[in-house]
Amino acid sequence: MGRDRRASTAGAALAGVALLSVYVAAYGSLTGSVIYHVVELAAVCLAWWGARRQPERTRRATSLIALGVTLYFFGDVSWWVQAQLEVGADVAPSDAFYLLGYVALGAGLWRLAGSRDRSHDEIVAGWIDALVVFVAGLALVWQLSLASIVSDAALPVGTRLVWSLYPALDAALVGLVIRLLVQRTRGEVAGLTVAAGSAVWMVCDLGYLLGADAGIMNVWLDAGWMLGAVLLALSTLPRRNQRACAEDHRRAVRSGLSRLAVCLAALLVPATMEAVNDLGGAEETPGLLLVTTLTLTTLVFVRASLLVRGEALARARVVSQQRYSAALAAHSSDAVVVVSRDGQLLSDPASLPAFPGDTGAHPAAGDLVLLMGADPAEAHATFRRALQAAGEVVDAELMCRRDGRRSWIGVRLVDLTDDPDVGGVVVHVTDITDRKRAEEALAHQAFHDGLTGLANRALFADRVDQALRRAARGLGRPAVVFIDLDGFKGVNDTLGHPAGDALLCEVATRLTSAVRADDTVARLGGDEFAVLVEQCGNGSDEAVTTAQRVLAVLRTPVAIDGQSVTVSGSIGIAVGDAGATSDSLIGDADIAMYAAKMSGRGRSVVFDPEMRAAAVAARELEQELQGALAAGEFRLVYQPVVDLADDAVTGFEALLRWDSPTLGAVSPSRFVPVAEASGLIEEIGAWVLREACTAAAVWRAEHGRELSMAVNVSAVQLASPHLVRHITEALTASGLPASSLVIEVTETALVSDPERASECLAALRALGLRLALDDFGTGYSSLAHLRQFTVDVLKIDQSFVATIGEDGVMPPIVRGMIDLGRTLGLEIVAEGVETEAQRRLLVDGRCDLAQGFLFARPLEPADASLMLLSTSVRTVDPQS
């Protein structure tokens, strides 16, 4: 790009020289006049075009320059017309154009030099430089031409005034040009161009005034005026580096010997004028010389005063900067020292005591390594690398130990021995102790859980990989014990996240206390933990023992915010084999944990390869369950509860059904455990309560009779803090009386967390609804549960009802259950009644209610409503 620009500039210069040659050859002819005026007109157009494209900062100044070129062009045209008409006059309209052009050009030069972003001293110095040149130039032109013009009595006063203005304005332009040159920014080309154009005009004007015949236009003077117009027009063009120059405009203006030489050279003008007068025998002008000398001396004195004051201010700034740098070094954690090539300090080590562990008792010079306390071998190796780098910067981080404390320094070294101002190796030392400690903290956070401080999943996986590699060398088989807390979500929802965090920290502490020192405890995320058991043997005994200890420590209640909280854990155990990886071993333990959770929680299960298929099926089932409720895939069917005395329907039990578009009809025994394990059972259970209560309320209103509605709740729902709210919302929305709702719970749900179950049942009874103990007799300690938990309804499991045969004899266990219920004042419901003989014996045994295929299969809502139209149900064939 630079080469193309230089080529185009050279081409333009050659074209200009060729045009000038043609003009000189055609001078005096019409062709010469046309060339002259066409070039000037082109310069006018170019000047205005460039001025319009200047940035706002310089647009007005360049517009004034363009106006000056335009007025000068009008003056030339006016003069040419006057010459063609042969009108002779000492002063003509063309003079007005010329003089106004000088004024516009001077205003443009004044604005182009500008005072924006300049200090007061810089502005004053620029004007003094301009005044010095103006005074000296005015004295010269007075001596050369102006005095003779003014004193020529033969000329009219107006003529003398107009002719005197030309050299006076030329002197003023010279001063403004000097001011522009000394105040222009380095690299600014427009100032040089406009100065060159103004200088060419000034020389031509002086040549015209000094000419033997003022009426004859010399060819070279015309060429000079034409060239000056072109240069002035070129100065208005915007430059590609205009933005860079504007950004650098605040830098200090040019100063130095050149500006001082201008002022001092001006003092030589009076003496030179006197010498010329003496040599030429001209008339002495002592008054002019005295005034000029006094004026110039005063201006130069003021200019020198500004220089002296500027130097004093510069020295003061240097001293202030030195004090500032010293203060920064004294209170900074960084230090810059110069060291010889043999490692000896060449500069003051005063900044080094700022480092941790430094006592400040440094020798005047000494080995830098000894001063900093770094490891000598490592430090010397770094220093040698800097010497070998041949002036390139070398970076390193060194650990230092001083007074038993550890710290770090960062060093940057560069060998500047060949630099006469430095003469050594520059060492920039920075205290990076805080950064290194922060990096260590970040590294710890990257591999440890931020809440509990245990290993996180990444570190745990790495430990498992290491254990598997050791196992490959015959050093035992590692096992992963995967722990998922049961009931943690309820604590979070009930007591809040701070309580949940406190519980996780307590669990972490207990797990750490329950394992051996060589085992690794990790929190994998949420409420999932894992233990890496480094087993000596090949079985799972040590891992199972660890799991039992974990379950034992989890059973102890945790006191949080004055409340006693109990959680359990579902634990999966997987033992690494020859082809195991950390991902596969943790995944197998996760599968075993899922199996433990599906089996009823609060237990441990050892992984078996057959679990993978079951786990995959369960995961697929869980994925289908995720959107089943929103998609409307669930429905309720209702099995009537019949009064055995008159076969009248007294209520219904709501049973959940799922018709999956992908899996088809899915049995509750399949999807309910998955819903419990995934946490979806609460949302589904809330929907069941709303639907069942609404149906019961509608049927009560339509048929005008008392009806009960029984709804089963799982162990997960019973442990949830939201169950009471879900029931209250369902009753409120449907308008069903609380006494008409029967909540059925199983013995298994009661024994998983007896204390929590007792609290929940008490809260439910406080609502006014009734409680039923479902599947009575199938669990252990059934009698103890009846004594511990207050219920209203006792439901005899269908496995016992099925023992009632056709021999007409009531099995003693069934009779005992009925008698026990009646003794306790409970309502007795027999489940799974399928034969007339069973119904008859239950009636004889004084059983109150029954349900089963003998009376009706589970009914759709419309069929259930139709059944209520009858006062009693008809005995139906169980196979129908």
Q: What pLDDT band is residue 244 in, cutting at 50, 70 and 90?
A: very low
Going by C-alpha positions, the residue among 553, 529, 536 that lies closest to residue 479 is 536
Query: What amino acid is encoded at 44 in this protein?
Result: V
At residue 268, does pLDDT exceed 90? no
Q: Who contacts 34 (Cβ-Cβ below 8 Å, separation ≥6)?
A: none
For the beta carbon of residue 266, count every other beta carbon within 10 angstroms.
26
User: Could you tell me if 176 and 202 are in contact, meaning their C-beta atoms sit under 8 angstroms apart?
Assistant: no
Residue-wise pLDDT for 434-478, tens only, equals 888 888 888 877 888 889 999 999 999 999 999 998 888 877 789
Mean pLDDT of the chain: 79
Q: Which residue has the tokens 């609404």?
A: 694
Confidence of residue 319 (pLDDT cuts 50, 70, 90): confident
**The pLDDT of residue 153 is above 70:** no
Between residues 603 and 85, the one the model is more confident about: 603
Strands 604-606 and 770-776: unpaired
CA pair distance 407, 430, nearest whole angstrom: 11
634-643 vs 648-660, strand pairing mode:
antiparallel
Q: Is the dihedral of CA 242, 244, 245, 249 positive or negative?
A: positive
Collapsing DSSP states into helix, strand and coil, what is residue 29? coil
Q: Which amino acid is at 740?
A: S
- The phi, psi pair for 719, rounded to 5°, reads -85, -10
Give the whole-angstrom CA distance, residue 137 versus residue 145: 12
Please state whether 481 falls in left (phi above 0), alpha (psi between -120 and 50) or beta: beta
Q: How far is CA 44 from the centre of its chain?
A: 55
Q: Can you give the pLDDT at residue 861?
A: 93
The predicted pLDDT at position 614 comes to 80
Instruction: Report the alpha-carbon distance of residue 209 to residue 214 in Å, rounded.
Output: 7
Identify the CA nearest to 237 among candidates 172, 293, 192. 192
Asked if 66 contacts 44 with a C-beta cutoff of 8 angstroms, the reply is yes
pLDDT tens figures, 588-629: 999 999 888 877 778 899 998 888 888 778 888 888 898 898
Nearest to 253 by CA among 307, 182, 194, 314: 182
Q: Which long-range contacts (CB under 8 A, 24 or more apart) does 144-148 make?
A: 144/206, 144/210, 145/206, 145/209, 145/210, 147/285
H-helix segments, 350-415? 368-372, 376-388
CA-wise closest residue to 170 among 123, 143, 133? 133
Instruction: Locate all alpha helices (DSSP H) within 657-806, ordered by sequence.
Output: 668-678, 681-703, 715-719, 723-734, 747-752, 754-766, 782-788, 798-801
Rg from Cα positions in the chain = 54
**Residue in 483, 520, 533, 519 with CA at minimum distance from that of residue 504:** 483
3-class SS of residue 560: strand
Q: How confident is the model at residue 853 (pLDDT cuts 50, 70, 90)?
A: very high
Q: Which of 541, 537, 546 is nearest to 519 (CA)?
A: 546
Amino acid type, 74? F
Q: What pLDDT is stored for residue 165 in this prediction? A: 75
β-sheet bridge partners, residue 795: 829
The whole-number average pLDDT for the span 814-838 is 90
Amino acid sitting at position 377: A
Tell me the H-state helices in 473-571.
488-495, 497-514, 541-555
If we measure between CA atoms, which residue out of 721, 325, 296 comes closest to residue 494?
721
CA distance 252 to 320: 19
Q: What is the largest CA-CA distance in the chain?
A: 168
- Give the position of tokens 């995944």: 587
DSSP for 795-806, written as a single string: EE-HHHHTT--T
Task: Say whether pLDDT at 141 is over 70.
Answer: no
pLDDT in tens, 538-577: 788 899 999 999 999 998 888 887 788 888 889 999 998 8
Do 455 and 521 form a contact (C-beta atoms < 8 A)? Answer: yes
How confident is residue 638, by pLDDT bands cut at 50, 70 and 90?
very high
Q: Do residues 699 and 740 lie in contact, with contact meaning Cβ atoms separated by under 8 Å? A: no
Q: Residue 550 in contact with residue 514, Cβ under 8 Å?
A: yes
What is the predicted pLDDT for the residue at 656?
Answer: 94
CA dist., res. 699 & res. 694, Å (int): 9
| 677 class by beta-carbon count within 10 Å (0-12 exposed, 13-18 middle, 19+ buried) | buried
Residue 531 in 3-state DSSP?
Answer: strand
- pLDDT-derived band at 282 (thresholds 50, 70, 90) equals low
- CB-CB contact of 408 with 436 (8 Å): yes
Phi, psi of 774 (to 5 degrees): -85, 150
Residue from 331, 327, 323, 270 nearest 299 by CA: 270
> To 10 degrees, the CA torsion angle through 178, 180, 182, 188?
-130
pLDDT at 438: 84
- The pLDDT value given to residue 549: 93
What are the contacts of 589-592 at 24+ separation with CB within 8 A? 589/480, 589/481, 589/482, 589/530, 590/482, 591/615, 592/482
Better-predicted residue by pLDDT, 105 or 687: 687
**Whose structure tokens read 């605040």?**
250
Pick from 269, 250, 267, 263: nearest CA to 307:
263
Q: Report the pLDDT value the prediction gives residue 589, as an integer from 0 to 100.
A: 92
- Which residues lie below 8 Å from residue 667, measured CB to CB, with a gap of 6+? none
Pick from 381, 385, 431, 435: nearest CA to 410: 431
Tell me which residue of 600, 603, 609 sits closest to 574, measured CA to CA: 609
- What's residue 787's pLDDT? 64
Strand order through the sheet with 520-525: 520-525, 528-533, 479-486, 568-575, 604-606
pLDDT score at 339: 82
pLDDT of residue 680: 87
Q: How large a percentage of the chain has pLDDT more than 70?
A: 76
Structure tokens at 819: 């008698």
Determine the pLDDT at residue 420.
82
Q: How far apart are CA 378 and CA 388, in angstroms?
A: 16
Residue 781's pLDDT band, with cuts at 50, 70 and 90, is: very low
Question: How confident is the model at residue 175, as a pLDDT?
Answer: 72
Q: Most confidently modeled of 160-164, 325-329, 360-364, 835-839?
A: 835-839
Q: From 335, 367, 347, select the one nearest 421 (Cα to Cα).
A: 347
